[in-house]
């Protein structure tokens, strides 16, 4: 009888969920060949000089005023504390440094402290490429060594207990802790931060923090969370290159933090590559001709992520002055990895692929090719835009990090 109820509960749950339109999308499968119209409007491409001097600033201003809010270029970052752990960790592959950094807005005088944990390959030179990670979970779960301090405040704990098992079951073995020994073996360092220490990832607390931290800005275009987390990536890039001796920085994020990684790369040329995994709406996926999560839905559920103006285009997407291929085009000519899963239609892999196709025209201005795939499944890690489509759903699973590293090796080895 017990086994009967164990089997019945998921069946009933699936039946209940299937009655919802959102879940019907979740049960779909993304195509392996691109479907739909060409991304529009077309990129304004004439010459490389015109692109760099005129169009890039204009597109950044459109992104600020339409979707993400002001890019806060005047923020400062300083080190408050630093401690290097004596013993190597992760099967002797990594040396760990613990830091506390302070991010400050000089215009308001408001500051936030957050933790940074750096894992370096043992005996590697200081100038190895460093993967900057923004994570759902505190650093205690991402780089799990006992000395890593817990963040101050009431945040979800991802390590230990039943919640950790459920989280990993639904979102993959690497959703919180990446394969650190594997990453070290490939010759990359990791720099992990928990963005909620800067701007909390909840509607009420997030908006409160944004209003306080960026009180100097016009409310209509005030920095929202995706842009704030992008600015954190940017500050880390400059800090790690100047203070820690790294010559190359890679912005990595999954889901909402993949959106932030893409925005960071678009606004800061110091970021040498982006690995954006399942970034979805407001990330790599097109907003026009939309499949999956809509502008109204994402803005209602996460009002702190984007400008309220973004949601107003839900019923008239043709009025959008630009689409997400403009964001991707700002990464040219730097390498970019776009990760996706076939059953993650909510994140719209097909829309991301068509955005990558359109963005490739900007790469060609630099004498590059951009995307070289004809289908969503022909993974080409050495391409300027590498598009990854695996089986499964939303999360970070065992197949993902080997693909990320194959891409990075192709561009940084």
Instruction: Decide: 260 and 342 in contact? Cβ < 8 Å.
Output: no
Indicate the average pLDDT of the chain. 92
Within the chain, what is the greatest distance between any pair of CA atoms?
73
The pLDDT assigned to 274 comes to 99
Can you list the positions of beta strands (E) in 211-306? 249-254, 273-277
Asked if residues 108 and 102 have their Cβ atoms less than 8 Å apart, the reply is no
Please state which CATH number belongs to domain 31-412: 3.40.50.1820
In the chain, where the domains are located: 31-412
- The end-to-end CA distance of the chain, in Å, is 57
Q: Would you place residue 82 in the very low, low, confident or very high pLDDT band (cuts 50, 70, 90)? A: very high
Q: Give the residue among 306, 328, 310 at the shortest CA–CA distance from 320.
A: 310
CA distances 370 to 78, 361, 407, Å, are 36, 7, 14
More confident residue, 65 or 163: 65
Cβ atoms within 10 Å of 166's Cβ, excluding its own:
10
Q: What is the structure's pLDDT at 170?
A: 81
Q: What confidence category does residue 20 fall into, taking pLDDT thresholds of 50, 70 and 90? A: very low
**What mean pLDDT do residues 95-118 have?**
98
pTM for the predicted model, two decimal places: 0.93
* Residue 73: per-residue pLDDT: 97
């Amino acid at each position: 009888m017990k086994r009967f109820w164990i089997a019945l509960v998921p069946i009933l749950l699936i039946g209940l969920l299937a009655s919802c339109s959102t879940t019907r999308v979740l049960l779909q499968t993304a195509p392996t060949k691109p479907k739909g119209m060409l991304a529009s409007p077309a990129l304004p491409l004439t010459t490389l000089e015109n692109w760099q001097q005129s169009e890039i600033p204009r597109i950044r201003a459109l992104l600020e005023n339409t979707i993400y809010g002001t890019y806060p270029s005047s923020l400062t970052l300083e080190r408050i504390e630093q401690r290097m752990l004596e013993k190597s960790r992760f099967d002797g592959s990594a040396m760990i440094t613990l830091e506390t950094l302070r991010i400050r807005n000089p215009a308001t005088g408001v500051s936030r402290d957050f933790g940074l944990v750096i894992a370096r390959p043992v005996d590697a030179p200081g100038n190895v490429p460093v993967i900057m990670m923004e994570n759902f979970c505190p650093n205690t779960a991402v780089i799990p060594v006992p000395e890593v301090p817990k963040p101050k405040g009431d945040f979800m704990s991802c390590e230990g207990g039943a919640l950790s098992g459920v989280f990993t079951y639904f979102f993959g073995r690497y959703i919180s802790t990446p394969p650190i020994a594997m990453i070290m073996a490939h010759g990359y360092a990791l720099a992990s931060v928990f963005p909620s220490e800067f701007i909390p990832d909840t509607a009420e607390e997030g908006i409160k923090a944004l209003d306080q931290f960026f009180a100097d800005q016009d409310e209509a275009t005030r920095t929202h969370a995706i842009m704030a987390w992008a600015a954190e990536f940017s500050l880390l890039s400059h800090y790690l290159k100047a203070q820690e001796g790294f010559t190359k920085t890679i912005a990595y994020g999954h889901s909402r933090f993949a959106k932030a990684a893409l925005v960071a790369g678009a606004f800061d040329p110091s970021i040498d590559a982006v690995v954006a995994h399942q970034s979805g709406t407001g990330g790599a996926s097109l907003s026009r001709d939309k499949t999956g999560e809509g502008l109204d839905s994402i803005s209602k559920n996460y009002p702190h992520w984007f400008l309220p103006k973004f949601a107003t285009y839900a019923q008239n997407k043709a009025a959008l002055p630009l689409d997400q291929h403009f964001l991707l085009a700002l990464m040219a000519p730097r390498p970019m990895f776009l990760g996706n899963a076939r059953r993650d239609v909510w994140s719209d892999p097909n829309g991301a692929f068509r955005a990558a196709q359109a963005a490739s025209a900007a790469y060609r201005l630099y004498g590059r090719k951009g995307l070289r795939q004809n289908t969503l499944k022909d993974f080409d890690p050495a391409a300027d835009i590498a598009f990854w489509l695996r089986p499964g759903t939303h999360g970070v699973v065992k197949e993902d990090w080997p693909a990320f590293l194959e891409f990075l090796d192709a561009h940084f080895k």
